[in-house]
Structure 1
Amino acid sequence: MLCAKVDTSQVLLAISHLGFSLSEEEQLLLSAIEGFTADSRQASPSIAFLALQGVSRHGREFIEQAKALGTVLIIEDSSESDADTNSKQMLITSTPADKQVLHLSVVNLAGKLSSFFATLYPQLDGFKQIVAVTGTNGKTSVASFYAQLAASIIGKAASIGTLGTLTYDNDGEERCVQEAENTTPERVSLLNQLAWLAEQGYCYVAIEASSHGIEQGRLTGLPIDTAIFTNLSQDHLDYHGSMQAYGAAKRALLNNTHIQNVIVNFDDPESALWQQSLQSQQRLSGFTLLPNAAKDSLSSCMQRVFSVSNTQYLSDGLYFSLFESAQAYSIHLGLIGDFNIANYLAAIAAFRAASVDMEAIALASPRLKGAKGRMEIMASHHAQVIVDFAHTPDALKQALQASRKHTKGSLWVVFGCGGNRDKEKRPLMGSIAVQFADKVILTQDNSRFEKPEDIVEDVLSGIAEGETKDQSAAAGKVISILDRCEAVKYALSSAQVGDVVLIAGKGHENYLDIQGKKITYDERAFVQQLAEEYI
């Protein structure tokens, strides 16, 4: 568990701010406390347990587990109906040691959590900039680009999201200091991580803000000063129910009263709703890949607009002219795809909101590396191999379109769809694959508790629709190899010089989720191994 240590005086001060006056005996009991957790499994004699309301269960159900692990302090969240006032009591655990436990009950603890942690960790006031990135696609890349640029220019920065908590220093190295359980960590974990990062001097941080995380209040009250919206396309409808609800969940990020700067993708229609939802204190900036003629329609109330022209797609990446309003800069990125230009623009727009010099940003830009498993170019024997996390219709389309611009021969795609998730996107992804790739291999991708052959049939239904429109183009393009290792092997052994093989869906993940078991499978390492075997 990543957290900054606290001393007894900070613990006692934070508890006093909750309205409690402790006896000498109680104060002595808490002298061993060094941190707080909302996960009862992490409780210990030095880690206090915060029993908060979760998505489906209340933390009070796990108090006995925390006590059994030796915690000496439990703070329980109580609703108004549970108690009219806060209360405290000394308990004796049921363990052989018969240790004492201080049990505090706090009305609306969740609402007081941010101020509680601000008292525990004064360093939370020391951040130069905290950026929250939301959108269907691009969150991980934007957060990574932002942190890399900040580290290159400022010296230290971090990102929190799908790839875990990553730190970057000016040596250019990326270090994972905590693995990820969710794209956006639960609130106490997130506060703990931020406190640790601040203590270590990482004062520029980007956080991936998932729609689940926003809706479940994981970012509530955090000192986020900049919000980024990348795009909105179909995903997570099994959770949100509709695209309207999905979009609204992401826009709810604007309700954080600390946010001063909002950056949106003006090429996405959803950006208009973001503009309408701005709070009075929030300043708008944005980015676009549209040609100059289309920019006149953009709102006049924005602070900055970033755009590009003269893009060249070469073997070593992308070259283009970047415009911040009327000022032009020449940029080289060692990345693939227009969407990575958009991700880059989002990152630099946030950085510019922190008044960082644009010349310094331009000089640092060629050193940017793609996030792991995000349009990552892998070593290959003859064909170019790209591993990408694309698992939505829009992401797959963009990945294929980007790969096509760097393809001299045939474009291959290997992909599947996750089980027990949004089924509506499966035929859409099938249709997109057959439309934009020359060779399509359907395979396993986290089938969970569904049969992979049933998932493939759903994907094939979209391909069948595509065949009725252009049967000659689709004929012979599609095969199914359910074993993912065999599918990847087939693609790499069959592709020719000048071909590009896009392997989509797994990206950075190192497992396959099948029938309740996570089977070890690192696609990046596997592709590297095959490439070396085929040399």
Structure 2
Amino acid sequence: MLTRKLIAQDIVHVLQKSGLLLQHRIPRVDQPFDGHTTHSNRVQDGSLFIAYKGVSFDAHGAIPGLQEQFAGLGFIVEQQDAFEQMSDQTFVCLVKDSRDAWGWLAAHLYHNPQDQLRMIGITGTNGKTSTVWFLGQLLRTLGEPCLTMGTIGVYCGEEKFPATHTTPDPDELFRLLALAVEKGVTWAAMEVSSHAVVQRRLGPLRFDAAGFTSFSRDHLDFHKDMDEYFAAKWELFSHLLKPDAVAWLSHDLEGWLPPDAFTRGFHFYGTARQGRTLQTGDAIFEVASMTLQSTDLTVTSGSRRWQGRLPFGADFAMANFTAALLIVEGLLPGRTSAADWSRIEPVPGRFEPVPEAFAEGLAVIVDYAHTPDALDKTVHKLRELTKGQLWVVFGCGGDRDRGKRPLMGAVAEKEADVILVTSDNPRSEDPQAIIQDILGGMSQGKHKAIVDREAAILYAIQQAKSGDSILIAGKGHEDYQIIGKEKFPFDDRQVASRCLRTRPTK
């Protein structure tokens, strides 16, 4: 994959174009840089150091030592005093936002691949991953190759790459977009997280289409409050769309939306609920029936009507499928057909059955639900499909929003018969302390605490009876568990399969 050399005058030009450049010193217009970094411990002589103030570390503090050690270093800074301390012989640019500058320079380095792709961005507390997956699937059925990026990984043609973040850092993001262009891909659909927006990872990216799937409590360890959290997500629509972009918003957002959401030509989708006044251009979806193996869905938007069967269950994911369908229809009018739905594959780790369980008369479902809202929807749906007892195995991640833990405990208790509270990714926290936070939202009687996640899954599978359902929630597609600073192999689907092989005959 070809990349550009970073040349001093080109860096200045890119930053001027972005509107981020405030001042600069450029001793040599043709000065080359052998790459760039935001990590002070990865600096090499002749590279460009991008300094910004992070949550726990301000990289500007490393600049004096780096200047002493490396004479040929260039700098991007966002603090006036750091700029003023540089000698006249040092290449330095003072910018409004160093993170944003990083995005623009990464795009430049990879020849601005976003300009050769039709870009689709999806945000929302829950539903981003499913919607991006369905976008890739729908475009594939139409013969339109698509790069998809998000929580479950990066897919480009037949290749899959692991995901380090829901939305990658600029270097990885634009490298992947350039890879898509190199392989002849013409579409890219990606999750746009609130973290990515606040941390300015997107640089010059502007989207041809966008969707907003849902909004509920999450990430309040990062955002000050719900208003700040929503504002971060809304930037996708207020600042990151192309002028003629297609935009679809869930009806459930109406209490949060600013006035311009109703005046800019955005469209809404949802179910036909009593009392709702639908506007021209809105879309309605309806689930006629559902099993763990199929869902019958009807979607109506204006004069278009789709009616078909998807080869997997989870009717609450149909809002996300509807959003993807409407976005593709908006970008490729008249090409979508319900006849293609039989080729749509389910989302990995989203209401995903473990097939071996059916032979035991059980339903074992693995789902990524890790917020109160997502867990509530998943538990409620499985309750509807369960004749016997409903078991729920779940925990909460460490070093994350503690306030949601008792809320998730209360949600699980509402409809489950037996709850096994266990570890998720405890990270640096004491797993037992996380469990106690969850139990704070629950009454006595229904729950049992088992710190070891595999032991909790094994207990549920061995104790459940024919006709019961077991929901294993929180990790979904993840194939690891983080305990302390170590990452261990752990896949709920594989663990459940292994436990089913040891299940005693009932």
The reply to whether TM is greater than 0.5 is yes
- Tell me which residue corresponds to 2:213: 230
Q: Does 1:526 align with 2:495?
A: yes
Match for residue 14 of structure 1 among 6, 10, 15 = 10
Match for residue 197 of structure 1 among 158, 180, 187 = 180
Q: Does 1:384 align with 2:363?
A: yes
- Tell me which residue corresponds to 1:371: 347
Deviations 1:482-523 (A, max 9, x none): 211111001112222222211001112233333333333222
TM-score when normalising by structure 2: 0.84
Instruction: Judge conservation of contact 1:11–1:120 (CA < 8 Å) in 2.
Output: no
Match for residue 201 of structure 2 among 218, 225, 241 = 218
Q: 3-state DSSP class of the match of 2:204?
A: coil
1:116: how far off?
4.2
Distance 1:318 1:72 in 2: 62
Instruction: Judge conservation of contact 1:40–1:65 (CA < 8 Å) in 2.
Output: no
Distance 1:251 1:316 in 2: 35
- Tell me which residue corresponds to 2:51: 52
Match for residue 94 of structure 2 among 71, 89, 107 = 107
Instruction: Judge conservation of contact 2:372–2:404 (CA < 8 Å) in 1.
Output: yes
- Tell me which residue corresponds to 2:385: 406
Instruction: Judge conservation of contact 2:391–2:419 (CA < 8 Å) in 1.
Output: yes
Instruction: Judge conservation of contact 1:38–1:188 (CA < 8 Å) in 2.
Output: no
**CA 1:123/1:498 → structure 2, altered by over 3 Å: closer, same or farther?**
same
Distance 1:351 1:190 in 2: 22
1:220: how far off?
4.4
Q: Does 1:124 align with 2:113?
A: yes
Distance 1:85 1:354 in 2: 51
**CA 1:83/1:39 → structure 2, altered by over 3 Å: closer, same or farther?**
closer
Instruction: Judge conservation of contact 1:224–1:256 (CA < 8 Å) in 2.
Output: no
1:57-206 aligned within 5 A: 57-59=57-59, 74-83=74-83, 89=89, 104-108=91-95, 110=98, 112-113=101-102, 116-117=105-106, 119-167=108-156, 169=157, 173=158, 175-177=159-161, 179-206=162-189
1:437: how far off?
1.4
Instruction: Judge conservation of contact 1:408–1:499 (CA < 8 Å) in 2.
Output: yes
Deviations 1:228-254 (A, max 9, x none): 111111112222232222222211222
- Tell me which residue corresponds to 2:20: none
Q: Return 5+ residue gaps in structure 2 as ranges.
A: 15-23
Deviations 1:98-121 (A, max 9, x none): xxxxx6311217455555455444
Instruction: Judge conservation of contact 1:386–1:502 (CA < 8 Å) in 2.
Output: yes
Q: 3-state DSSP class of the match of 1:107?
A: strand
Q: Does 1:262 align with 2:247?
A: yes
**CA 1:497/1:224 → structure 2, altered by over 3 Å: closer, same or farther?**
same
Distance 2:488 2:68 in 1: 31
TM-score when normalising by structure 1: 0.80
Deviations 1:66-118 (A, max 9, x none): 999999764423444443799874xxxxxxxxxxxxx6311217455555455
Which letter maps to 1:160? M
Distance 2:491 2:238 in 1: 38
1:328: how far off?
1.9
**CA 1:487/1:253 → structure 2, altered by over 3 Å: closer, same or farther?**
same
**CA 1:154/1:191 → structure 2, altered by over 3 Å: closer, same or farther?**
same
**CA 1:506/1:113 → structure 2, altered by over 3 Å: closer, same or farther?**
closer
Distance 2:246 2:88 in 1: 41
1:461: how far off?
2.9
- 55-64 or 137-146: bigger deviation: 55-64
Distance 1:228 1:500 in 2: 33
Instruction: Judge conservation of contact 1:51–1:63 (CA < 8 Å) in 2.
Output: no
- Tell me which residue corresponds to 2:434: 455
1:439: how far off?
1.8
**CA 1:458/1:339 → structure 2, altered by over 3 Å: closer, same or farther?**
same
Instruction: Judge conservation of contact 1:36–1:48 (CA < 8 Å) in 2.
Output: yes
Q: 3-state DSSP class of the match of 1:239?
A: coil
Instruction: Judge conservation of contact 1:49–1:71 (CA < 8 Å) in 2.
Output: no
Instruction: Judge conservation of contact 1:233–1:394 (CA < 8 Å) in 2.
Output: yes
Q: Does 1:323 align with 2:310?
A: no
Instruction: Judge conservation of contact 2:292–2:313 (CA < 8 Å) in 1.
Output: no
Deviations 1:444-471 (A, max 9, x none): 122334333333233223221xx6xxxx
Match for residue 284 of structure 1 among 261, 266, 277 = 266
**CA 1:66/1:279 → structure 2, altered by over 3 Å: closer, same or farther?**
farther
Identity %: 30
Q: 3-state DSSP class of the match of 2:441?
A: helix
1:276: how far off?
1.9
Distance 1:461 1:78 in 2: 44
Which letter maps to 2:461? L
Instruction: Judge conservation of contact 2:269–2:285 (CA < 8 Å) in 1.
Output: no
Distance 1:408 1:435 in 2: 17
Which letter maps to 1:276? P
1:5: how far off?
2.4
**CA 1:213/1:116 → structure 2, altered by over 3 Å: closer, same or farther?**
closer
Which letter maps to 1:365? W
Q: 3-state DSSP class of the match of 1:185?
A: coil
- 253-262 or 317-326: bigger deviation: 253-262
Q: 3-state DSSP class of the match of 1:274?
A: coil
- Tell me which residue corresponds to 1:357: 334
Distance 2:434 2:114 in 1: 48
- Tell me which residue corresponds to 1:425: 404
Q: 3-state DSSP class of the match of 1:247?
A: helix
Instruction: Judge conservation of contact 1:489–1:530 (CA < 8 Å) in 2.
Output: yes
- Tell me which residue corresponds to 2:18: none
Q: 3-state DSSP class of the match of 1:195?
A: helix
1:402: how far off?
2.0
Q: Return 5+ residue gaps in structure 1 as ranges.
A: 90-102, 468-474
Distance 1:457 1:385 in 2: 26
Which letter maps to 1:414? V
